Structures are given as structure tokens and as C-alpha cells.
Amino acid sequence: MPELPEAQTIVNDLNKKIRGLAIADIWTDWPKYFKRSSGGFDGFKKEIKNKKIEKIWRLGKNIIFDLSGNKEMLIHQKMTGHLLVGHWQIKNNKPIFTEKGPLAEKVNNYIHAIFWLSNDKMMGFSDLRKFGKILAVDKKNFDNLKDVKNIGPDPLTPKFGFNEFKSLISKKRGPIKKILMDQNVVSGIGNIYSDEILFVAKIHPLKMAEKLDDKELKAVFEAAKEILKKAVKLRGTSTSDYRDTAGLAGRYGNMRLVYQREGEKCPNKCGGVIKRLKINGRSAHFCPHCQKL
């Protein structure tokens, strides 16, 4: 699932490529994306058609479009979704990419929604599993959306400091891996980066959050900032379906320390071997030598 670095990469790209353009029309073969909008797909289309894209920003893993007319559009890419900027033709209700290059890669060819924009631009949503979410609301109702109402602070916001992080984590009980992925505690961190953060911090994923001392919490806090900033710089992780708006893979996947490296030697050269365990149905990768329980 795209996490903070992947969503931020998409946001950065879209602000460069389509900010200031208007939404001329929209097509889909999967109306379920729009079931949260009033009136479903038809209602969504009426809300956003001819609206100008004034700004694109990120809230946790959500991509938010500020539109003219005091409208907001929210897109959550979910497990396999990613937004692309290119050109497609609809033939027999199926999008056909009309150019050569990375966008023609198979992983980018599960287009289930297309936004026609002014200036001959198009934005497509490729989503193999079709779990994505797209909705539009009046700006005055945005903060009341359940998707954003209780979302935790952004770990990359400069004003988000250690004392706030400590206060949030200390109030929770359970494995620190699970707590880091709770979007109501801290937003944007998922399976990939929680593994990487805990490895750098040398904290076992099963260690109880309420038992972490100040030194350990500070290590997790600093590791989160370090890993997430690095992953944004490298344009995300593409061990699965994620691609940027040009259809290109992120480069952090080549730098992964433990995520999906089960059975490999620890990058710290401690003699340990990366292990994997399950926590609430999610995998956790760690070095048992560096991250003792």
C-alpha cells in the first residue's frame, strides 16, 4: 500500500504537472470508487466537472485536491493504486495508452478512472485490486469526513516534535509496530516504513509501546524522520504496484534494510539474519540480534 513517501511523491509530481488545470470530464468502469460521494459517480462528476485544480496536498496517505468553487476532492490509493499523467483512448470501454514508455508497463495498465483536464492533459488511476477511494465534498464539510476527522499528526511536519510524539505513543498499549501504523496516532506510516524505522531505532516490533523509555522513544522518533525523508527523496518504494505519475518505480526499494528481506544477512553485519513474524495479520521484518525483545 502506498504510504507517506509514495503519496508525497505523487503530490509533488501533480503540483508540477496539473496544478492550475480544470477538470473537463471523467470516465470510469468502476463506479464503486465513488460510492462515498453524494449521488455516487454521477453526483461526483457533477461536483467536480469544470472545477480548477488550485492545489494538491497530502494528509496522511490521502491525496487532497483543492478545487475552485470551494470543493475538495480526496483520493486514497489503497493497496495497489497510483495516479498517472499521460494520454489514453477509450476503446470498448477499456483505456488504451497511446504512447510508448514507462506508462505502458503492465503494472500501469489497470486504469479504472480517467480525468480529462484542460491543456490536453489526462490523469489516470491505475488500480489492480480496485480498492481505491475517490470522493468530493464541499470545503466546509471536509474536516468532518471520517477519512480525515481523527487522523494523527504528520511525522514530517516541522512542528511535530518529540514531546508530542512521546505523548501520543505513551497513551497507547500494544506492540510498537502496530501503534506506529495506527493512522489515528501518527499518520502516513504503514508496513514498509514501520519495519525500516524500528530497525534503525533497534527496537523489536513486538516490544510494548507503553514499556519504551525516553531513550527508546527518541530513537524511534528520530528514525521515523530519517527514513521517511530518505524515502521521499528516493521517490518511494516499488516492491509491488506503486509507480510515480510518469509510471516509474521508486528507488527506496533498492535501499531497503529489512522489509521483505527475510533470510538475508543483517545490513549491520552483526551476524544476524532477517526474520519475519506476524502481528495482527501484518508481517514484521527485523534482525533478532540488533532488535532484542
CB atoms within 10 A of CB 62: 21
| 26-52 residue pLDDT tens | 999 999 999 999 899 999 999 999 999
Let me know if 251 is a catalytic residue. no
Task: Give the model's pLDDT for residue 100.
Answer: 86
| 128-176 residue pLDDT tens | 999 999 999 999 999 999 999 999 999 999 999 999 999 999 999 999 9
Let me know if 61 is a catalytic residue. yes
58 — pLDDT class (breaks 50, 70, 90):
very high
CA angle, residues 220, 224, 225, in degrees to nearest 5 = 125
Query: Which domains, ranges and CATH numbers included, belong to the chain?
Result: 4-144 (3.20.190.10), 162-286 (1.10.8.50)
Average pLDDT over residues 91-115: 94
Burial class for 288, CB neighbours closer than 10 Å (0-12, 13-18, 19+)? middle
Q: Which residues pair with 124 in a beta bridge?
A: 84, 114
Task: Give the model's pLDDT for residue 44.
Answer: 97
Q: Does an H or E element contain 125, and which? A: strand 122-127
Going by the DSSP 8-state scheme, the letter that residue 141 receives in this structure is: G
Cα separation, 45 vs 24, in Å, equals 10
Task: Give the model's pLDDT for residue 165.
Answer: 98
The b/e string for 161-195 (b: 16+ C-beta within 10 A; e otherwise) is eeeebbebbeebeebbbbbbbbbebbbbbbbbbbb
pLDDT more than 70, % of the chain? 100
Cα separation, 117 vs 92, in Å, equals 22
* Spatial CA neighbour of 228 closest among 250, 261, 208, 210: 250
CB atoms within 10 A of CB 100: 7
* Spatial CA neighbour of 15 closest among 70, 71, 46, 53: 53
Let me know if 235 is a catalytic residue. no
Catalytic one of 3, 47, 72, 196: 3
Cα separation, 34 vs 133, in Å, equals 7
Catalytic one of 2, 155, 175, 205: 2
Catalytic one of 121, 153, 282, 288: 282
- Examine the pLDDT at 1 and tell me if it is beyond 80: no
Cα separation, 225 vs 235, in Å, equals 15
Q: CA 89, 91, 93, 97: dihedral to nearest 10 degrees?
A: -40
Let me know if 146 is a catalytic residue. no
Catalytic one of 51, 61, 178, 235: 61
- Examine the pLDDT at 234 and tell me if it is beyond 80: yes
